Amino acid sequence: MTDDEILFGLALTVVLATGSQVLASKLRVPALIVLLPAGFTAGALTDVVHPDKLMGANFSSLVSLAVAVILYDAGLGLNLRNLTGRTRWIVGRLLVFGVLVTFLVTGAVGPAMFDMPLRVAAMLGMILVVSGPTVVGPLLDYVRPNDKVRRILIWEGTLTDPIGGILGALTFHAIATSHRVDIGRGYQLGQFGISLAVGLIGGAVGAALLWWTLRVLRLGETLGTLAQLATVIAVSAGCDIVRDDTGLIAAIVTGLAVTNIRGFDMPARRPFFETLVQLIIGLLFVSISTTVTPSSLVPVLLPALGLIAILVLVVRPLVAFAATAQSGLTTGERAFIGWMAPRGIVAAATASAFSASLVDRGESGAEKILPVAFLVIVGTVLLYALTATPVARRLAVVKPSGTRVLLVGGEPWVVDMGRSLRTAGLDVLMWAGLDEERQRIKDAGIQLARGDLLATATNPGARLEGVTAVFLATDDDDFNALASVVMQDNVEGPVYRVGPPHESHGVVAPYTGGAILFGSSLVRHALAARYEAGARFLVQSASTPVPADHDTLFVVRADRRLEPVTGDEPVTPQEGDSVVLLGSAPLTQ
């Protein structure tokens, strides 16, 4: 290829990777549904986007390093404190049963369905055992199942990637060296143990390097992000040099260590790193799908649809119900876990690498591995994306609709406001620091948050699960301002605070931005004074005229979404909504 063709090919790949994800976000579908067809179409219509022509033999190595970065980022989201008791037990059983049953069933039906030798079918089966957080995560974000189900599926999808990658490498080496599959023998089990040890050592080295760079050298956000990227790539490459595909284990172990070892204090959101990971995912899916040709799909299309049906309707439900037996999960939760096993980037990457190597070695039927894997990836993602939401609703595992408010403060007017929000149909959780304030909340019948909740919410490495809006209304304006800044990246939804007194000379509050509740007139001290003078909160239908001298504080939509009134933009009630008002203080005689 000429230099101009290479430049055009690289630019087109980046544009397709980015544009597909933008389009998917607007259509509210997983990006994979758009990425794979975009890459496949580009590969069929032009020759400039084929990775083997753009990067040659280096493509598989770049894919390995890119997947390591993705898994490191996934590891950063896995807090071991959430993997306790039954959750750990369920995830472990899902991994063991899922790998064994998927491998055995695919290996058994592969020779008859795709006219390939048993050893090649075994390679296909090991490739398809993986799922992946890059697919499961976006699907769950769209479906919004309860936290228990989400946690189980995210852990399973993240941990199965490195395990499947290593087992795939062992299967490949067994086929390449002996032309048969003997994974069950002691030799291969020993090889798996060695690979696991190399990955764990690499992860320990990566964690030590990041401790030195992030804690000892005290690098800032920009240099710290670069240090993470360099460390993950270096450790992953080093492990792969020592032993194939062990870099995936090293990457995820490094991410787990950074998240779970106290002292790292990683932020819950890392904009640059997350942007980089999104770009890598897009580039990989587009590049790999360009290597699949229409002519390679036609012979395996119908058998692949049959394999998808077996994996979705037989294998996954069997694995899920066996793994969750006597787990304490409801029937709906067990069924939804049995309806969520899409394949993702690691399946595509390993299929691309191993099939090409086996084809070069002259293995019969190996050329069918990539198109079959491609169809399984597209088919499972499309099927689950279209059905997951209605299935989750039917099984009653979706989080309740509406806003769940964390109201911080214990003054009488704040507690009464929380009671009014609950009367309007919202799920309200309150936190306060003083014993008398916490008792006041209990006496009002409002759910009281545990004592360390706010410490968790302000931890840079934590995410506050289940809360979709935070209202800071303590009697300390500087605390409200600082907490709003710290918590805004740790909550699924917005963080608001009551306004400080006008012309205040506080340390932080007058000079900090952020969303201010109720506009500039109803600041904290004005609200408290008005309540002490006898003003009370009122909940009524939006269709009822607002009484004179009443101020609208909140609009509760028909679907129980809460929209507070702020000084930034007006909130207009609609038919079916409710409003929370603050009345005027009664006139004194």
DSSP string of 32-58? HHHHHHHHHHHHHH-STT-HHHHTGGG
* CA angle in degrees (0–180, nearest 5) for 503-509-512: 110
pLDDT at residue number 180: 56
User: 10-residue block means of pLDDT along the chain (589 residues)?
Assistant: 85 93 82 85 86 78 84 77 78 92 93 91 89 77 83 86 75 67 57 81 93 83 85 93 82 86 66 81 87 87 94 95 90 93 82 81 87 90 88 86 82 92 88 88 87 59 69 86 77 83 62 72 86 90 86 87 80 87 70
pLDDT at residue number 399: 75
Which positions ≥6 away from 244 have C-beta within 8 Å?
A: 169, 173
Report how far residue 170's alpha carbon sits from residue 365's, in angstroms, rounded to the nearest whole number: 19
Read off the DSSP letter of residue 491. B
Distances (CA, A) of 295 to 299, 347, 358: 8, 21, 19
pLDDT at residue number 85: 72
CB 289 within 8 A of CB 239: no
Tokens encoding 350: 């390993």
pLDDT at residue number 269: 55
Distances (CA, A) of 36 to 71, 297, 356, 479, 542: 20, 14, 19, 48, 47
Beta bridge partners of 581: 538, 552
| Dihedral angle sign, alpha carbons of residues 233, 52, 291, 3 | positive
Edge-to-edge strand list for the sheet holding 537-541:
537-541, 578-582, 551-556, 562-564
pLDDT at residue number 589: 42
CB 293 within 8 A of CB 45: no
Report how far residue 582's alpha carbon sits from residue 589's, in angstroms, rounded to the nearest whole number: 21
Beta bridge partners of 448: 430
CB 249 within 8 A of CB 196: yes
pLDDT at residue number 267: 58
Query: Which spans in 128-270 are helix H?
Result: 133-143, 147-178, 186-210, 221-242, 247-260
3-state SS class at 451: coil
Among 338, 425, 344, 337, which residue's Cα sits nearest to residue 378? Answer: 344
pTM, rounded to two decimals: 0.72
Determine the angle formed by the axes of helices 247-260 and 147-178, rounding to 10 degrees.
Answer: 160
Determine the angle formed by the axes of helices 118-127 and 85-114, rounding to 10 degrees.
Answer: 150
Q: Is 17 exposed, middle or buried (0-12, 13-18, 19+ CB in 10 A)?
A: buried
Length of the chain: 589
Helices (H) and strands (E) in the chain, counts: 23, 10
